[in-house]
Structure 1
Amino acid sequence: MTKGRLIASLIAAAGTLLCGPALADNYPAKPLKLIIPFPPGGTTDIVGRGVADQLSKVLGQAVVVENKGGGGGSIGADAIAKAAPDGYTIGIATVSTHAVNPACNAKLSYDPLKDFKPITNLATVANVIAVNPTFPAKNYKEFVAALTANPGKYSFATSGTCGIGHMLGEEFKVLTKTQMVHVPYRGAGPALNDVLANQVPIMVDNLPSSMQFIKSGRLRPIVVAWNKRIDSLPDVPTFAEVGLKDANDPAWYGLVAPAGTPDDIIRKLNEASVKALKDPGLVDRFRGAGAEPVGNTPQQYTAEIKREFDKMRTLVKQQNIKLDQ
């Protein structure tokens, strides 16, 4: 934790001691800001905006979304970490911001475990490898065959260097002994635009941001990371089914606050989030996009973040993955 954040945390703690329960009793007394660390159009944005809409109703205060993309989510995550720990700035945490990016970059400006207070895991989502319909493969077997026959010919787009899509793509290459060229973007939205335009033939993405294009036939799904076949994509196998069990982990999207945020406010935000995630409209919206609502405790989500961070640190070291790849 930086000196500035330590001071902010101490001030927040002192304020909590002085004000006692009154601080949480009056919370929230004004609108909240929700930082989404990726541009509009991607899965993080879909999950974040859906939760913000419903959370506003539960809390009785507006939850204003601010997209702050770049750096594989690190710019937005840093803004969350540096915000005042008063409960009025919260943000979305992802595998990219709190596991992959920190594992890739030892010089990152924030610590994923020390600079945040987890609130809850909002949703898990499937990951997908999809291709532009002009790609010469209609299924997984043909896809691997095309890559094997043409090492280095094809490129894959992701939401950013050392993001979850990048890591999944690299893991796929290792497990299948194939070669693709990574093309990073400033979020899934811009990456999808180029894949749809066939500037890049392959997309490695979270399923929700790609789903609408899969349904419309503008993307062809090849394989998904999920514990079973997706109901709306019954013909698309999971990574486990094709023999790549290690790549079959879903992504998660959670809610965090800056370190130093009072525990009573974290508790209120957790309770409000869990209630929001039970809204039938939000559940349908998530599931229709390929996401599954979670809503666990702060302690459970903290353990999930640490487990994923440790896993990614091991993978980065084993595969010698660099931030500039």
Structure 2
Amino acid sequence: MKFKSIALLLGCVYVTAHTSIAAAAYPDKPIKLVVPYAVGGTTDIIARVVGVKLGTILGQTIVIENKPGAGGSVGSAYAAKQPADGYTLVMAVESSHAVNPNVYERSPYDPVKDFAPISNLADVPNVLVVNPDLPAKNMEQFIKLLKDNPGKYAFGSSGNGGLSHMNGELFMSVTGTKMLHVPYKGLGPALNDLVAGQLQVVFDNIPSSFALIQGQRIRPLVVAAKERLKALPNVPTYAEVGIPKLNNPSWFGLAAPANTPDAILDTLNQAVTQALKDPETVAAIEKQGAIPSPMSRKDFGELIQQSNAQWVKVVKDIGFNKLN
């Protein structure tokens, strides 16, 4: 009996030690980071900037995999079904993890239950940009133009049910205007058509629009930020032009499939925190007009839940008909 007890004890020690060694070895192969939007959009830009430093810290390559479609739901649903082993992560952003699931009658994933939050990465001001040929130089002229020509002008989005789509719907509801909505598989393609003149308006985030704004290929009319941006000092905030409901920056974070072990999630959270203290990474994010914003796993989880509650209310308040 004594020998059996000793053998059992030794077996437990072996299993515990083996498990600890396995956990300590993470990661021992490349990590896939799913971006549920097209190349060139804000989510893609933030993922690539942070992914480079994150890979250096973890000692493994972070492989970006773009899976656009349906306002972020295609890539998010795909990521939710991957093994919970820390080798598939997903960009969990306000558009795909708070807006999109609340504007469809049936979402293919639950933004809270199907994912394990790791950390927010950055807060990003939104911007309303127009084609330079549009005969409106400021928000007052823009609203008048839309009211005088209901349904004539089109706005592009990252897809049905995404943040850029819903910001457009909220804008029209608040201002009493009407535009045609044209969904894309990401804001990159939408911006291409905006520059080409096939669209007149895009409700975007600063990072994906900034280079085009600097090159005067598109015109910013207003930004969603607490105060005017240093990079765009002549562009007013939504609050300044009397539309405070749209004056909220967006959050862009990182998550894993639900049930990913805590030890792995903690490792990733610590790596994100370290990455967002790196001066070069911070400078690269700020260059895009974004603000690095790391946080604890608990705080990021609460942010996702609070944001979902807010968008449930917005969808109801504006009388939006949920998508099938």
Residue in 2 that maps onto 1:120: 119
Contact 1:118–1:257 (CA<8 Å) still a contact in 2? Answer: yes
C-alpha distance in 2, partners of 1:51/1:203? Answer: 25
SS of equivalent residue, structure 1 residue 21: helix
- 5+ residue gaps in structure 1? 1-15
Contact 2:68–2:75 (CA<8 Å) still a contact in 1? Answer: yes
C-alpha distance in 2, partners of 1:30/1:131? Answer: 44
Residue in 2 that maps onto 1:56: 55
1:311 correspondence with 2:310:
yes
CA deviation profile, 1:61-108 (whole Å, cap 9, x unmatched): 111111111111111101111110011111101111111111011311
Alpha carbon RMSD of aligned pairs, Å? 1.5
Matched to 2:149, the amino acid is: N
Contact 2:131–2:218 (CA<8 Å) still a contact in 1? Answer: yes
SS of equivalent residue, structure 1 residue 27: coil
CA deviation profile, 1:268-320 (whole Å, cap 9, x unmatched): 00000111111111111111111111110010000110011111111112223
Matched to 1:266, the amino acid is: L
Correspondences of 1:246-265 after superposition (within 5 Å): 246-265=245-264
Residue in 2 that maps onto 1:85: 84
Residue in 2 that maps onto 1:4: none
Residue in 2 that maps onto 1:269: 268
C-alpha distance in 1, partners of 2:82/2:69? Answer: 18
SS of equivalent residue, structure 1 residue 123: strand
Residue in 2 that maps onto 1:131: 130
Matched to 2:215, the amino acid is: S
Contact 1:120–1:273 (CA<8 Å) still a contact in 2? Answer: yes
Contact 1:161–1:323 (CA<8 Å) still a contact in 2? Answer: no
SS of equivalent residue, structure 2 residue 197: coil
SS of equivalent residue, structure 2 residue 271: helix
C-alpha distance in 2, partners of 1:321/1:209? Answer: 27
SS of equivalent residue, structure 1 residue 194: helix
TM-score by length of 1: 0.92
Contact 2:136–2:142 (CA<8 Å) still a contact in 1? Answer: yes
C-alpha distance in 2, partners of 1:36/1:19? Answer: 33
Residue in 2 that maps onto 1:69: 68
Contact 1:130–1:204 (CA<8 Å) still a contact in 2? Answer: yes
SS of equivalent residue, structure 1 residue 221: strand
Contact 1:157–1:202 (CA<8 Å) still a contact in 2? Answer: yes
1:144 correspondence with 2:143:
yes
Contact 2:103–2:323 (CA<8 Å) still a contact in 1? Answer: no
SS of equivalent residue, structure 1 residue 182: strand
C-alpha distance in 2, partners of 1:57/1:152? Answer: 49
SS of equivalent residue, structure 2 residue 137: coil
TM-score by length of 2: 0.93
- 5+ residue gaps in structure 2? 1-14
Residue in 2 that maps onto 1:96: 95
Contact 1:226–1:249 (CA<8 Å) still a contact in 2? Answer: yes
Residue in 2 that maps onto 1:300: 299
Residue in 2 that maps onto 1:197: 196
Aligned residues: 310
CA deviation profile, 1:147-186 (whole Å, cap 9, x unmatched): 1221221111111111111111111111111111111111
C-alpha distance in 2, partners of 1:19/1:149? Answer: 71
C-alpha distance in 1, partners of 2:301/2:38? Answer: 25
Name the % identity: 46
Structure 2 vs 1, CA of residues 104 and 19 (structure 1 numbering), >3 Å: closer, same or farther? farther
The offset of 1:22, in angstroms, is 2.9
Matched to 2:276, the amino acid is: L
CA deviation profile, 1:239-289 (whole Å, cap 9, x unmatched): 111111111111111000000100011000000011111111111111111
Matched to 1:106, the amino acid is: E
C-alpha distance in 1, partners of 2:212/2:56? Answer: 30
Correspondences of 1:185-264 after superposition (within 5 Å): 185-264=184-263
C-alpha distance in 1, partners of 2:248/2:90? Answer: 23
The offset of 1:50, in angstroms, is 0.8
Highest CA radius of gyration, 1 or 2?
A: 2
Residue in 1 that maps onto 2:278: 279
SS of equivalent residue, structure 2 residue 28: coil
C-alpha distance in 2, partners of 1:22/1:92? Answer: 28
Matched to 1:236, the amino acid is: V
SS of equivalent residue, structure 1 residue 157: strand
C-alpha distance in 2, partners of 1:95/1:130? Answer: 20
Contact 2:143–2:177 (CA<8 Å) still a contact in 1? Answer: yes
C-alpha distance in 2, partners of 1:91/1:249? Answer: 23
